[in-house]
Structure 1
Amino acid sequence: MTLFAAVSFAALLAGCARAPQPVHFFAEGKPPRLSDWHLVEARDGRLAPNADVVPYDLNTPLFSDYAHKFRTVWMPKGAPAKYDAEGPFDFPVGTVLSKTFYYPRAANEARASKAVARTYDTADDFAAGSGNAALDLSKVRLIETRLLVRREQGWEAIPYVWNAAQTEAELARTGDAIPLELVDDQNQHEGFTYVVPNENQCAGCHVANVKAKRLEPLGPKARHLNREYAYADGKREQLASWSEKGYLSGVPAADVPRDADWHDPAQPLDTRARAYLDVNCSQCHSPTGPANTTALDLRSAATDLRRLGVCKPPVAAGRGTGDRLLDIVPGKPDESILLYRMLSDEPGVMMPEMGRDTTHREGVDLIRQWIAAMPGSCGA
């Protein structure tokens, strides 16, 4: 073999080694590494999805200690999900949803520092030229990636935690606790513990129907997904893109519900607050949820003000009320149990009960404004 041929052959082998393998769906078991699935991989300074792994986002996301989230979906070819106007889509066996929790790195902090930025700005999170389709690992710190896998017996949650080198995420069946510090624009530091839930704790949110007792996705619903996404080749409507990709069938031409963006002040206060409560609370507080005995219905489509909490006494009194008498008192946020529990970070009092170690200041401000603007009173 000539020297030129040997070099060419070596280059060809190197190129093959670098090429990502296709997505590997595991019908059973829990692989020890996230990379075993070939869904999203840390490569060349990016966290990027594999071929046919589609990134997506929600109009209003669940609050998780100010973490940013990179979501993806993958499905086997020829088996699209079926559209549903209210609940989660009917996904085929073989679907894998991933959600990577990460933080922008705090300015002027060493790479190994616990400090992460408390910001909503995602402009620097993504690699140049990728749209919102690949994270720039020089700008962000990866924390965990959760998989929700649709197997024959139903959905299964599998958590992975990223190593310090940011090269691999490893199976964390018992969860994890990671000390971090949020740093805001004024360089104020707030220490907290980021908690990765164990496998059993996933059911606390993802079993949204207590009779069925099955895990189900929470984010991929029509009202959350009905928005544009900045793909690598430009912005497009997500539901249309999923349909064109063969990932979704049955989307109607009109009347698709859409939740508001809670953080957009140009949108009406009421729709923003209702969207916020929907995504953060309605998985439990709905007619079928595990908190249905409270008679609270916090879905954005709910219309009964009493079940929304307006002038409604709590079903069970206790320290969770903060000695307040009603869930929501129109015009009086500080007399409302709902706001009191959102402000708290005390176990047994705070709401939501899990998924946060900090108080969502901006979310509290939104609900405070919403209650303060409510007309009427709870007089006899």
Structure 2
Amino acid sequence: MKQFVIHAAVLVAAMFVGGCQRSEAPVLFHPQGQPQTLGEWHVLSSDGKQLKLNHGVEPYALNSALFSDYAHKLRTIWMPEGRKAKYSANDAFDFPVGTIISKTFYYPRGQDGAVLRVAEQKDESANGLDLSKVRLIETRLLVRRETGWVALPYVWNEEQTEATLARAGDVVPLTMHKPDGSAKTSFAYMVPDENQCAGCHSTNNTTRELHPIGPKARHLNRDDPWHDGQNQLARMVSLGRLEGLPATGVPHNARFDDASASIESRARAYLDVNCGHCHSQVGPADTSGLWLDAGTDEARRLGLCKPPVAAGQGTGDHLFDIVPGKPDESILIYRMSSLDPGAMMPEVGRATVHEEGVAVVRDWIAAWLGNCTSDGAHVAMR
């Protein structure tokens, strides 16, 4: 089979005051191989001063996002011209061959080389990133080829001009603190290797095929942060990028940090995006019996008075995944709060504890009523 490439658009010339300037080269889809630099894809470009999105590369945001050591993320999708993703109510959308999904991890800059622990701002990645204000760490690509999805991690250089393929992963030492100088911590940010990328994105333990995690209806069903008054999914339809979107009944996850939403919806949304791709009926942790995806409603499967499948270090000597009203006695909180490699959950992707996320799940468990008997039965309060 002959190799082929897909271009976002032909090169054009644009006239400016004072002269003529050539546009950015179009997005280049590589149907095979592992390009050694991010620049070879032409999805994002950097001159060391600004990270820019190429023509046709659209940013997107999630309702609640996967925690990654407080890193901010610029997420983008590019699809070949004239091709559309197919809507699914529950699973990741079916994207056409040639799709390139990118996720760039970065931090706002602090003082003396440190990075800041602050909430993501809705407008900071509308047209790219001002590199005088942020430090780029890595960009991960998820690429849809004829044979399926492949994951490629790229690590940015100190000049922030290019990112290089890091098949074996990488370690980036960081010091992070809040804007007022508090909560200062030094940690090793871990860039996952190819196998770890595949481990998270192999959301079906039978097929072991890679799939996107974030681009699902319930995560994308929200206002577009960069286009006032537009829903992200409706915008995808208007741009000719999505087909099959129903007029009503589109699922929606809460923002875990939205104080106006119920504590249950916030905690379930957090667990869904952080844990549900693994802890589901078909995921890699299916044998654990603990299913934390959005489609699970059975309290026992969510962990209520459920003993662990395997005892030991990961339990912290606790008896049940969730003890109603007692988060400190629940294995779920213990593992979310741990930094012990033998106990922490998720197992990869973090070297710090997400205090705000743990607090939401803690409050959710604290609101549960009843007691667990010694044999794992739940006794409701009367």
Instruction: Compute the TM-score of the two structures, normalised by the length of structure 1.
Output: 0.91
Does 1:75 find its partner at 2:79?
yes
1:89 to 83, 93, 99: 93
Number of matched pairs: 357
| C-alpha contact 1:59 1:227 (8 A) present in aligned 2 | yes
Deviates more, 1:194-203 or 1:270-279: 194-203
Change (3 A) 1:76 1:272: same
Does 1:154 find its partner at 2:148?
yes
Does 1:118 find its partner at 2:113?
no
2:174 to 168, 171, 180: 180
Distance 1:33 1:234 in 2: 35
- Following TM superposition, the consecutive aligned residue runs of length 4 or more in structure 1 with deviations greater than 3 angstroms are 123-126
Tell me how far 1:99 sits from its aligned partner: 0.2
Does 1:228 find its partner at 2:223?
yes
Does 1:24 find its partner at 2:28?
yes
- Give 2:232's aligned residue: 238
Q: For residue 300 of structure 2, give the secondary structure of its aligned residue in structure 1.
A: helix
Amino-acid identity (%): 55
Tell me how far 1:338 sits from its aligned partner: 0.4
Distance 1:252 1:146 in 2: 31
Distance 1:88 1:147 in 2: 16
The equivalences for 1:343-358 within 5 A come to 343-358=337-352
Does 1:15 find its partner at 2:10?
no
- Give 1:63's aligned residue: 67
Does 1:142 find its partner at 2:136?
yes
| C-alpha contact 1:321 1:340 (8 A) present in aligned 2 | yes
Distance 2:229 2:52 in 1: 18
2:259 to 265, 268, 272: 265
Residues 296-339 of structure 1: per-residue CA shift (max 9 Å, x gap): 11012311000000111111111111111100000000110000
Tell me how far 1:53 sits from its aligned partner: 0.6
Q: For residue 73 of structure 1, give the secondary structure of its aligned residue in structure 2.
A: strand
Tell me how far 1:121 sits from its aligned partner: 4.2
Q: For residue 145 of structure 1, give the secondary structure of its aligned residue in structure 2.
A: strand
Does 1:323 find its partner at 2:311?
no
| C-alpha contact 1:181 1:191 (8 A) present in aligned 2 | yes
Distance 1:26 1:123 in 2: 31
| C-alpha contact 1:83 1:250 (8 A) present in aligned 2 | yes
| C-alpha contact 1:125 1:140 (8 A) present in aligned 2 | no
Does 1:203 find its partner at 2:209?
no
- Give 2:58's aligned residue: 54
Residues 222-274 of structure 1: per-residue CA shift (max 9 Å, x gap): 0000011233x545211011111111100000000000000111111000000
Does 1:164 find its partner at 2:153?
no
Q: For residue 148 of structure 1, give the secondary structure of its aligned residue in structure 2.
A: strand
Residue type at the aligned position of 2:231 = E
Give the alignment's Cα RMSD to 1 decimal.
Answer: 1.5
| C-alpha contact 2:123 2:225 (8 A) present in aligned 1 | no
| C-alpha contact 2:122 2:225 (8 A) present in aligned 1 | no
Deviates more, 1:39-48 or 1:217-226: 39-48
Q: For residue 236 of structure 1, give the secondary structure of its aligned residue in structure 2.
A: coil
Distance 2:58 2:223 in 1: 13
- Give 2:10's aligned residue: none
Residue ranges of structure 1 left out of the alignment (5+ in a row): 1-7, 127-131
- Give 1:129's aligned residue: none
Does 1:365 find its partner at 2:359?
yes
Residue ranges of structure 2 left out of the alignment (5+ in a row): 1-14, 378-382
Tell me how far 1:44 sits from its aligned partner: 7.7
Q: For residue 280 of structure 2, give the secondary structure of its aligned residue in structure 1.
A: coil
Distance 1:53 1:123 in 2: 17
Tell me how far 1:184 sits from its aligned partner: 1.2
Change (3 A) 1:80 1:121: closer
Deviates more, 1:193-202 or 1:63-72: 193-202
| C-alpha contact 1:339 1:364 (8 A) present in aligned 2 | yes
Q: For residue 306 of structure 1, give the secondary structure of its aligned residue in structure 2.
A: coil
Distance 1:147 1:259 in 2: 24
Distance 1:123 1:87 in 2: 26
Residue type at the aligned position of 2:306 = K
Greater per-residue helix proportion: 1
Residue type at the aligned position of 2:202 = V
Does 1:254 find its partner at 2:274?
no
Instruction: Compute the TM-score of the two structures, normalised by the length of structure 2.
Output: 0.90
Distance 1:64 1:121 in 2: 12
Residue type at the aligned position of 1:224 = H
| C-alpha contact 2:303 2:322 (8 A) present in aligned 1 | yes
